[in-house]
Amino acid sequence: MNPDEEYGVQEGDMMLQRDRNAASDVWPEVDGQVFVPYEINPELGKRASLITQAFKMISEKTCVKFRLHTDEADYLHFKEGPGCASLVGLTGGEQPLLISKSCTAGNICHEILHALGFYHEHSRKDRNEYITIQYDNISPGREDNFEVRYGKTLGMAYDRGSIMHYGEDYFSRNGKPTIVTKDGNVKIGQRTHLSDLDVERIRKLYHCKGNEEEGTAQVDYGDYEMGLEGLWGFKFSTMAL
């Protein structure tokens, strides 16, 4: 069972607001960089280190950076939830992002990309050129997770290797594939890294310039250092991993 199945929201781990693959409600850019304020609820304990790993996956290769929330009006609040879930794009105010005990760093990175404004890759309007949805194998009531979402693709190629793509058996009712690639040799549903196109997509949406991929992560971890043993204290959003 994929972690996003634990939380029954539209498209598995996200709450949809508009039909689009990249949201228009992006986080603000200041002098060529985007700083996303964040807070981690102490209830997440050691999972704080997974969150900072996810930050690093993004900030090492893009102009999107993360820093501890102080007095900013808009910020991400990582908190306990029954699944991994995020709202899409900047919604304003305290923006919750749910982290369950089953979430990996890759799952969390996927959710952060939702919060940055990205929808699932398999929901693109051109998806039928690359994959086939096996509707007979989808669990009843989960069909919405496989709808086409008409909207912005940023002019980028379809990416079956994206961290935002569902795996082949997501929401299966019988253990059989719900998504079949038209190139049978392509693996889908990885949650270990940003693909090259994922990186390019972030950089394009946020107008990144320069060579961030050669730079440092530039993440303000505060007290949430990698490997922290005893962290113990945020709001919620929702998309599938």
Q: 240: pLDDT confidence band, cut at 50, 70 and 90?
A: very low
CATH homologous superfamily of 8-116 equals Collagenase (Catalytic Domain) (3.40.390.10)
Radius of gyration from C-alpha coordinates of the chain: 17
Annotated binding residue 120: yes
Which residues partner with 95 through β-bridges?
Answer: 76
List residues with catalytic annotation.
Answer: 111
What pLDDT score does 3 carry? 42
Tokens matching residue 123: 């929901």
Q: Where are the alpha helices (DSSP H) in 16-153?
A: 47-59, 105-116
Residue 91, helix vs strand vs coil: coil
pLDDT digit string (tens) for 74-133? 999 999 999 999 999 999 999 999 999 999 999 999 999 999 999 999 999 999 999 999
Is 114 known as a binding-site position? yes
Residue among 106, 168, 101 nearest 137 (CA): 168
pTM over 0.85: no
Q: Is 165 annotated as a binding residue?
A: no
* pLDDT tens digits for range 142-183: 999 999 986 679 999 999 999 999 999 999 999 999 999 998
Mean pLDDT, residues 231-239 taken together: 30
- Looking only at the bridges linking them, the beta strands covering 33-40 and 29-30 are antiparallel
Residue 53 sits at the vertex; the CA angle it makes with 51 and 56, to the nearest 5 degrees, is 115
- Residue spans of the domains in the chain: they are 8-116
Write the pLDDT tens digit of every residue in 17-71: 444 455 558 999 988 889 999 999 999 999 999 999 999 999 999 999 999 999 9
